[in-house]
Amino acid sequence: MVRLKLPFFRIFTTSVLFAFTGAILLFLLADIVYVKSAPLREVLSSPDFHSAFTLSLITSVITAILSILVAVPAAYALSRFPFKGIIIFDVIVDFLIVMPVLVIGVSLLVFFRWGNELNASDSWLVRQAGAAIVFLGNIFIYNKPGIVFAQFFCSASFALRALKATFDGIDPRTEKVAMTLGCTRAGAFWRISLPLAKHGILAAAVLAWSRAFEIFGAVAIVAGSVRGKTEVMPTAIYLEFSIGRIEAALVISLVMIIEAFVILLLLRMFSRSNVFGVRGSS
Protein backbone atom coordinates (compact mmCIF):
# COMPACT_ATOMS: atom_id res chain seq x y z
CA MET A 1 0.00 0.00 0.00
CA VAL A 2 1.20 3.47 -0.81
CA ARG A 3 1.35 5.68 2.22
CA LEU A 4 -0.27 9.06 1.67
CA LYS A 5 1.50 11.94 3.23
CA LEU A 6 -1.60 14.09 3.38
CA PRO A 7 -4.82 12.56 4.69
CA PHE A 8 -6.87 14.03 1.80
CA PHE A 9 -7.73 10.66 0.41
CA ARG A 10 -8.64 9.32 3.78
CA ILE A 11 -10.78 12.35 4.48
CA PHE A 12 -12.50 12.00 1.11
CA THR A 13 -13.32 8.30 1.44
CA THR A 14 -14.36 8.59 5.05
CA SER A 15 -16.64 11.50 4.36
CA VAL A 16 -18.35 9.56 1.58
CA LEU A 17 -18.87 6.77 4.10
CA PHE A 18 -20.22 9.18 6.69
CA ALA A 19 -22.49 10.88 4.19
CA PHE A 20 -23.97 7.59 3.06
CA THR A 21 -24.50 6.12 6.52
CA GLY A 22 -25.63 9.54 7.72
CA ALA A 23 -28.35 9.57 5.08
CA ILE A 24 -29.52 6.12 6.18
CA LEU A 25 -29.61 7.24 9.81
CA LEU A 26 -31.58 10.35 8.83
CA PHE A 27 -34.27 8.23 7.17
CA LEU A 28 -34.43 6.07 10.25
CA LEU A 29 -34.69 9.15 12.42
CA ALA A 30 -37.58 10.42 10.31
CA ASP A 31 -39.31 7.07 10.82
CA ILE A 32 -38.75 7.22 14.56
CA VAL A 33 -40.07 10.77 14.77
CA TYR A 34 -43.14 9.81 12.72
CA VAL A 35 -44.01 6.91 14.98
CA LYS A 36 -46.06 7.87 18.00
CA SER A 37 -45.80 5.95 21.23
CA ALA A 38 -49.38 4.69 21.08
CA PRO A 39 -49.04 2.60 17.92
CA LEU A 40 -45.63 1.47 19.15
CA ARG A 41 -47.11 0.00 22.30
CA GLU A 42 -50.11 -1.35 20.43
CA VAL A 43 -47.98 -3.18 17.89
CA LEU A 44 -45.41 -4.49 20.34
CA SER A 45 -48.08 -5.94 22.60
CA SER A 46 -50.10 -7.62 19.85
CA PRO A 47 -49.94 -11.43 19.83
CA ASP A 48 -50.00 -11.48 16.03
CA PHE A 49 -46.86 -9.38 16.03
CA HIS A 50 -45.15 -11.73 18.48
CA SER A 51 -45.90 -14.75 16.32
CA ALA A 52 -44.76 -12.92 13.18
CA PHE A 53 -41.54 -11.90 14.93
CA THR A 54 -40.72 -15.43 16.08
CA LEU A 55 -41.74 -17.00 12.80
CA SER A 56 -39.61 -14.55 10.82
CA LEU A 57 -36.58 -15.21 12.96
CA ILE A 58 -36.88 -19.00 12.89
CA THR A 59 -37.70 -19.35 9.19
CA SER A 60 -34.99 -16.95 8.05
CA VAL A 61 -32.31 -18.72 10.12
CA ILE A 62 -33.40 -22.15 8.83
CA THR A 63 -33.38 -20.77 5.29
CA ALA A 64 -29.89 -19.33 5.72
CA ILE A 65 -28.55 -22.67 7.02
CA LEU A 66 -30.25 -24.63 4.22
CA SER A 67 -28.91 -22.16 1.67
CA ILE A 68 -25.35 -22.66 2.93
CA LEU A 69 -25.75 -26.45 2.96
CA VAL A 70 -26.71 -26.35 -0.71
CA ALA A 71 -24.51 -23.46 -1.80
CA VAL A 72 -21.20 -24.78 -0.41
CA PRO A 73 -21.01 -27.99 -2.46
CA ALA A 74 -22.70 -26.44 -5.51
CA ALA A 75 -20.40 -23.40 -5.53
CA TYR A 76 -17.39 -25.63 -4.97
CA ALA A 77 -18.34 -27.75 -7.98
CA LEU A 78 -18.82 -24.65 -10.11
CA SER A 79 -15.44 -23.35 -9.05
CA ARG A 80 -13.31 -26.52 -9.06
CA PHE A 81 -14.80 -29.09 -11.45
CA PRO A 82 -15.42 -27.33 -14.75
CA PHE A 83 -16.79 -29.22 -17.72
CA LYS A 84 -18.01 -28.27 -21.15
CA GLY A 85 -21.13 -26.20 -20.82
CA ILE A 86 -20.82 -25.55 -17.08
CA ILE A 87 -21.33 -21.90 -17.87
CA ILE A 88 -25.00 -22.77 -18.57
CA PHE A 89 -25.42 -23.98 -14.99
CA ASP A 90 -23.65 -20.89 -13.76
CA VAL A 91 -26.24 -18.76 -15.57
CA ILE A 92 -29.17 -20.86 -14.33
CA VAL A 93 -28.12 -20.05 -10.76
CA ASP A 94 -28.50 -16.37 -11.64
CA PHE A 95 -32.08 -16.92 -12.80
CA LEU A 96 -33.28 -16.70 -9.24
CA ILE A 97 -31.38 -13.45 -8.71
CA VAL A 98 -32.90 -11.64 -11.68
CA MET A 99 -36.42 -13.09 -11.41
CA PRO A 100 -38.94 -10.94 -9.51
CA VAL A 101 -39.76 -12.75 -6.27
CA LEU A 102 -43.44 -12.74 -7.14
CA VAL A 103 -42.65 -14.76 -10.23
CA ILE A 104 -40.56 -17.18 -8.18
CA GLY A 105 -43.54 -17.71 -5.88
CA VAL A 106 -45.99 -18.23 -8.71
CA SER A 107 -43.56 -20.63 -10.44
CA LEU A 108 -43.42 -22.75 -7.29
CA LEU A 109 -47.21 -22.94 -7.22
CA VAL A 110 -47.35 -23.80 -10.90
CA PHE A 111 -44.88 -26.60 -10.21
CA PHE A 112 -47.05 -28.12 -7.50
CA ARG A 113 -50.08 -27.86 -9.72
CA TRP A 114 -48.16 -29.85 -12.30
CA GLY A 115 -48.16 -32.74 -9.83
CA ASN A 116 -51.93 -33.00 -10.20
CA GLU A 117 -51.63 -33.26 -13.95
CA LEU A 118 -48.89 -35.89 -13.77
CA ASN A 119 -51.07 -37.81 -11.37
CA ALA A 120 -53.53 -38.40 -14.18
CA SER A 121 -50.91 -39.93 -16.47
CA ASP A 122 -51.08 -43.45 -17.90
CA SER A 123 -47.55 -44.27 -16.88
CA TRP A 124 -47.05 -45.65 -13.38
CA LEU A 125 -43.69 -43.95 -13.00
CA VAL A 126 -45.04 -40.54 -13.98
CA ARG A 127 -47.97 -41.01 -11.60
CA GLN A 128 -45.55 -41.72 -8.75
CA ALA A 129 -43.63 -38.55 -9.57
CA GLY A 130 -46.93 -36.65 -9.66
CA ALA A 131 -47.98 -38.09 -6.30
CA ALA A 132 -44.65 -37.07 -4.79
CA ILE A 133 -45.08 -33.50 -6.05
CA VAL A 134 -48.62 -33.35 -4.70
CA PHE A 135 -47.40 -34.70 -1.36
CA LEU A 136 -44.75 -31.98 -1.19
CA GLY A 137 -47.32 -29.42 -2.26
CA ASN A 138 -49.53 -30.36 0.66
CA ILE A 139 -46.62 -29.86 3.03
CA PHE A 140 -45.59 -26.49 1.66
CA ILE A 141 -48.65 -24.67 0.30
CA TYR A 142 -50.28 -22.45 2.91
CA ASN A 143 -48.19 -23.99 5.67
CA LYS A 144 -45.20 -22.79 7.67
CA PRO A 145 -42.67 -24.97 5.79
CA GLY A 146 -43.83 -23.11 2.69
CA ILE A 147 -42.29 -19.95 4.13
CA VAL A 148 -38.87 -21.61 4.29
CA PHE A 149 -39.43 -23.16 0.87
CA ALA A 150 -40.16 -19.80 -0.76
CA GLN A 151 -37.41 -18.00 1.16
CA PHE A 152 -34.91 -20.67 0.15
CA PHE A 153 -35.49 -20.24 -3.58
CA CYS A 154 -35.22 -16.50 -3.22
CA SER A 155 -31.96 -16.52 -1.26
CA ALA A 156 -29.89 -19.63 -2.06
CA SER A 157 -28.58 -18.17 -5.31
CA PHE A 158 -27.18 -15.18 -3.47
CA ALA A 159 -25.27 -17.49 -1.13
CA LEU A 160 -24.05 -19.54 -4.06
CA ARG A 161 -22.84 -16.48 -5.93
CA ALA A 162 -20.90 -15.24 -2.91
CA LEU A 163 -19.40 -18.66 -2.23
CA LYS A 164 -18.29 -19.21 -5.80
CA ALA A 165 -16.36 -15.95 -5.60
CA THR A 166 -14.82 -17.17 -2.36
CA PHE A 167 -13.74 -20.52 -3.77
CA ASP A 168 -12.46 -18.84 -6.93
CA GLY A 169 -10.31 -16.67 -4.71
CA ILE A 170 -8.70 -19.63 -2.92
CA ASP A 171 -5.60 -20.82 -4.75
CA PRO A 172 -6.24 -24.43 -5.96
CA ARG A 173 -2.57 -25.14 -5.41
CA THR A 174 -3.13 -25.25 -1.64
CA GLU A 175 -5.46 -28.22 -2.15
CA LYS A 176 -3.06 -29.87 -4.55
CA VAL A 177 -0.27 -29.57 -1.96
CA ALA A 178 -2.56 -31.20 0.64
CA MET A 179 -3.30 -34.04 -1.76
CA THR A 180 0.39 -34.65 -2.37
CA LEU A 181 0.70 -34.91 1.39
CA GLY A 182 -1.85 -37.75 1.44
CA CYS A 183 -5.24 -36.02 1.61
CA THR A 184 -8.15 -37.29 -0.46
CA ARG A 185 -10.06 -34.80 -2.69
CA ALA A 186 -12.75 -34.54 -0.05
CA GLY A 187 -10.20 -34.32 2.68
CA ALA A 188 -8.45 -31.45 0.93
CA PHE A 189 -11.77 -29.63 0.70
CA TRP A 190 -12.68 -30.33 4.31
CA ARG A 191 -9.27 -29.50 5.82
CA ILE A 192 -8.02 -26.76 3.50
CA SER A 193 -10.64 -24.98 1.38
CA LEU A 194 -13.51 -24.96 3.80
CA PRO A 195 -11.58 -23.38 6.68
CA LEU A 196 -10.08 -20.88 4.22
CA ALA A 197 -13.57 -20.06 2.99
CA LYS A 198 -14.86 -19.45 6.52
CA HIS A 199 -15.37 -15.73 6.02
CA GLY A 200 -16.91 -16.26 2.63
CA ILE A 201 -19.37 -18.72 4.10
CA LEU A 202 -20.35 -16.24 6.78
CA ALA A 203 -20.76 -13.54 4.14
CA ALA A 204 -22.94 -15.88 2.11
CA ALA A 205 -24.97 -16.76 5.18
CA VAL A 206 -25.50 -13.08 5.91
CA LEU A 207 -26.65 -12.47 2.34
CA ALA A 208 -28.97 -15.46 2.39
CA TRP A 209 -30.34 -14.58 5.81
CA SER A 210 -30.99 -10.92 4.93
CA ARG A 211 -32.77 -11.89 1.76
CA ALA A 212 -34.86 -14.54 3.52
CA PHE A 213 -35.66 -12.09 6.29
CA GLU A 214 -36.96 -9.36 3.98
CA ILE A 215 -38.60 -11.43 1.25
CA PHE A 216 -42.35 -11.02 0.97
CA GLY A 217 -43.92 -11.58 -2.45
CA ALA A 218 -42.96 -15.23 -2.87
CA VAL A 219 -43.77 -16.08 0.75
CA ALA A 220 -47.24 -14.56 0.47
CA ILE A 221 -47.90 -16.52 -2.70
CA VAL A 222 -46.71 -19.93 -1.48
CA ALA A 223 -47.49 -19.81 2.23
CA GLY A 224 -50.20 -17.15 2.19
CA SER A 225 -50.46 -14.15 4.48
CA VAL A 226 -52.66 -15.70 7.12
CA ARG A 227 -52.58 -13.80 10.42
CA GLY A 228 -51.04 -15.79 13.23
CA LYS A 229 -50.21 -18.71 10.95
CA THR A 230 -47.97 -17.81 8.05
CA GLU A 231 -47.56 -14.13 8.79
CA VAL A 232 -43.91 -13.05 8.84
CA MET A 233 -42.65 -9.53 9.51
CA PRO A 234 -42.70 -8.32 5.86
CA THR A 235 -46.25 -9.70 5.60
CA ALA A 236 -47.22 -7.76 8.70
CA ILE A 237 -45.82 -4.57 7.17
CA TYR A 238 -47.79 -5.19 3.97
CA LEU A 239 -51.00 -5.86 5.89
CA GLU A 240 -50.62 -2.68 7.94
CA PHE A 241 -49.87 -0.56 4.87
CA SER A 242 -52.89 -1.99 3.09
CA ILE A 243 -55.21 -0.52 5.68
CA GLY A 244 -53.36 2.77 5.96
CA ARG A 245 -51.73 2.13 9.35
CA ILE A 246 -48.46 3.65 8.29
CA GLU A 247 -47.15 4.12 11.86
CA ALA A 248 -47.77 0.47 12.68
CA ALA A 249 -45.97 -0.59 9.50
CA LEU A 250 -43.04 1.64 10.42
CA VAL A 251 -42.89 0.22 13.94
CA ILE A 252 -42.57 -3.27 12.51
CA SER A 253 -39.94 -2.05 10.04
CA LEU A 254 -37.95 -0.52 12.88
CA VAL A 255 -38.14 -3.75 14.84
CA MET A 256 -36.91 -5.59 11.75
CA ILE A 257 -33.99 -3.20 11.45
CA ILE A 258 -33.05 -3.63 15.09
CA GLU A 259 -33.36 -7.40 14.75
CA ALA A 260 -31.16 -7.36 11.66
CA PHE A 261 -28.66 -5.02 13.31
CA VAL A 262 -28.26 -7.34 16.28
CA ILE A 263 -27.85 -10.42 14.13
CA LEU A 264 -25.38 -8.83 11.73
CA LEU A 265 -23.40 -7.42 14.62
CA LEU A 266 -23.31 -10.81 16.36
CA LEU A 267 -22.08 -12.44 13.17
CA ARG A 268 -19.31 -9.89 12.86
CA MET A 269 -18.28 -10.45 16.45
CA PHE A 270 -18.54 -14.20 16.01
CA SER A 271 -16.14 -14.18 13.09
CA ARG A 272 -14.01 -11.58 14.88
CA SER A 273 -13.65 -9.85 11.57
CA ASN A 274 -15.48 -8.01 8.86
CA VAL A 275 -17.59 -10.86 7.54
CA PHE A 276 -17.68 -9.34 4.11
CA GLY A 277 -13.89 -9.25 3.96
CA VAL A 278 -13.35 -12.37 1.92
CA ARG A 279 -9.59 -12.22 2.43
CA GLY A 280 -10.06 -12.75 6.11
CA SER A 281 -8.01 -9.92 7.57
CA SER A 282 -9.82 -7.17 9.28
Partner 1 sequence: MRFLPAFGLIMPIVVIASVKTIPDAASEPLLCYVGGTMRPAVEEIAKMYTQKTGREILIDYAESGQLLIKIEQTNKGDLYVSHDPFLGALSRKGFLEKAWVVAGITPVMVVAKGNPKKIKGFTDLGRPGLKLIVTHPEYSMLGHLLPKMAEKAGIKDALYKNVVSETRGGGEAANAVIMGTADASIVWNAVARLRIDKLDTISIDPQYQLLKGVDAISSATFGSMDMGFVRVTMAVLTTSKNNQAAIKFAEFTAGKEASEIWKKFGFTQTEPQIIDKTTDMAVPRGSLFIHCAAGMRKAIDACAKSFEKKSGITVELNFDGSNRLLGQIKLTRKGDIYIPGDAEYGAMAEKEGLADSTTRKVICYLTPVIMVPKGNPLGIKTLNDFLKKGVKIGQGDEKSAAVGKQTIKLLALNNIDRNRWNKNVVLSTPTVNELGAAIKLGTITAAVVWNSIAKDYSDVAETIPFEQLKNIVSTVDGVILASCQNRSAAEAFLNFLVSEEGKKILQDAGYDVVKK
Contacts with partner 1, residue ranges (CB under 8 A): 62, 65-66, 68-69, 72, 106, 109-110, 112-113, 116, 137-139, 141-145, 148, 194-195, 198, 201, 220-221, 224-227, 229, 239, 241-244, 246
Nearer CB in complex with partner 1: 2/243: 243
Residues 118, 120, 123, 129, CA torsion sign:
positive
**How many whole angstroms separate alpha carbon 141 and alpha carbon 138?**
6
CB of 122 to partner 1, least distance (A): 22
Nearer CB in complex with partner 1: 96/201: 201
Nearer CB in complex with partner 1: 15/138: 138
CB of 120 to partner 1, least distance (A): 13
**How many whole angstroms separate alpha carbon 70 and alpha carbon 22?**
37
Nearer CB in complex with partner 1: 90/131: 131
- DSSP letter assigned to residue 102: H
**How many whole angstroms separate alpha carbon 247 and alpha carbon 237?**
10
CB of 184 to partner 1, least distance (A): 16
Task: Find the angle CA(132)-CA(138)-CA(143) to the nearest 5 degrees.
Answer: 140
CB of 110 to partner 1, least distance (A): 6
Nearer CB in complex with partner 1: 21/242: 242
CB of 216 to partner 1, least distance (A): 11
Nearer CB in complex with partner 1: 109/165: 109
> Quick one: which H or E segment has residue 159?
helix 144-169
Check: CB of residue 115 under 8 Å from CB of residue 133.
yes
- What is the SS3 assignment for 7? coil
CB of 78 to partner 1, least distance (A): 19
Nearer CB in complex with partner 1: 89/111: 111
CB of 193 to partner 1, least distance (A): 11
- DSSP letter assigned to residue 189: I
- DSSP letter assigned to residue 282: -
In b/e form, how buried is each residue of 193-206, taking b as 16+ CB within 10 angstroms?
bbebbebbbbbbbb
